[in-house]
Structure 1
Amino acid sequence: MADEQAKPHPPDALAGTLKRTEVQRRESSIPGRIIVQVLTEIPEGVESGWHTHPGEEVGYIVAGTVEMRIHGSDTLLLHAGNGFLIPPDTPHNARDLGPGVGHMLSTYIVSPEAPLASFVEAAG
């Protein structure tokens, strides 16, 4: 699999709101998909804002406690050590409840042509 670090890619809307560090970006064995891994830091009390991804998000809470609201699903209360899965194009919003800065490691299996994250209207 070729490393895609040097290729330009669509913007990530969340990068302007939260500290997001791209760990790796690789081609996937799934046609039309790439795998992008991102470490996100969310200050205590801050929300990501309602957003979607153009594919699955497989996440893991590294530090902190996160309230994950997912459109059409029950709200999740995630602690360090918990994992989560967000289906493609599903609006969701993460809020760090503390203590301190929350850290989430997310692996996205997404279309390479679309932005990694896009803000949407608040969902119920």
Structure 2
Amino acid sequence: MSRKNQTNATRLLGVAFVTAALTAFAGLSQAQETQPSADAGQAPAKSWQTGIKRTDLVHRDLDVEGREVIQVRVDFDPGVVSPKHAHPGVEVAYVIEGTFEYELEGQPNVVLNAGESLYIPAGTAHVAKNIGKGKASELATYVVKKDTPLLILKQ
């Protein structure tokens, strides 16, 4: 197996691990926290496991030793909230469509509409929520440590 194939296999294994960890540790509690009460006459919100779609766009090594850039499009169904998480590097989130509310640990909440962006410092725990009535999409660009999980779940 070539070095490139080994690296790709390692990344795929890492993605599988992160997906399994998100499902096992954050899914149930986050989904329960964000669903409106059935007694209030509202339909339950869609859970993040089925309400968030990620499309990988770019994954490249940087000129800086041990760093890479990853860019993804993330689509949120209405009312869907991400689990609380952090990244092993900085994230720049650009809202393509819709309206998001971002909760960054230690900072006031920020509401962004299409065309606006947000810098999230490395290791900062955060949550993103689609607060609009339709789909919301962001372009997330990460400059992160190579060969580390992209997502770190937080309590």
Counterpart of 2:126 (choices 77, 89, 92) is 92
1:100 & 1:119 partners in 2: Cα distance? 27
Q: Which has the larger radius of gyration?
A: 2
- SS of residue in 1 equivalent to 2:98: strand
Answer yes or no: is the 8 Å Cα contact 2:90–2:142 preserved in 1.
yes
Higher share of residues assigned helix: 2
Equivalent in the alignment of 2:42? none
2:83 & 2:136 partners in 1: Cα distance? 15
Shift of residue 15, structure 1, vs aligned partner: 8.1
Equivalent in the alignment of 2:8? 7
Equivalent in the alignment of 1:40? 74
Counterpart of 1:52 (choices 73, 78, 86) is 86
Q: 4+ runs of 1 displaced by more than 6 Å?
A: none
Equivalent in the alignment of 1:120? 154
> Relative contact order (C-alpha < 8 Å, sep 6+): which is higher?
1
Shift of residue 118, structure 1, vs aligned partner: 2.1
1:22-33 to structure 2, matched below 5 A, reads 22-33=56-67
Q: TM-score, normalised by structure 1?
A: 0.87
Shift of residue 99, structure 1, vs aligned partner: 2.7
1:36 & 1:27 partners in 2: Cα distance? 9
Which deviates the most, 22-31 or 61-70?
22-31
Counterpart code for 1:50: K
Query: Unaligned regions of 5+ residues in structure 2, if any?
Result: 24-48
1:96 & 1:15 partners in 2: Cα distance? 19
1:30 & 1:99 partners in 2: Cα distance? 41
Query: Unaligned regions of 5+ residues in structure 1, if any?
Result: none
Higher share of residues assigned strand: 1
1:99 & 1:63 partners in 2: Cα distance? 11
Does residue 63 of the first structure (1) align with residue 64 of the second (2)? Answer: no
Equivalent pairs counted in the alignment come to 118
- SS of residue in 1 equivalent to 2:79: coil
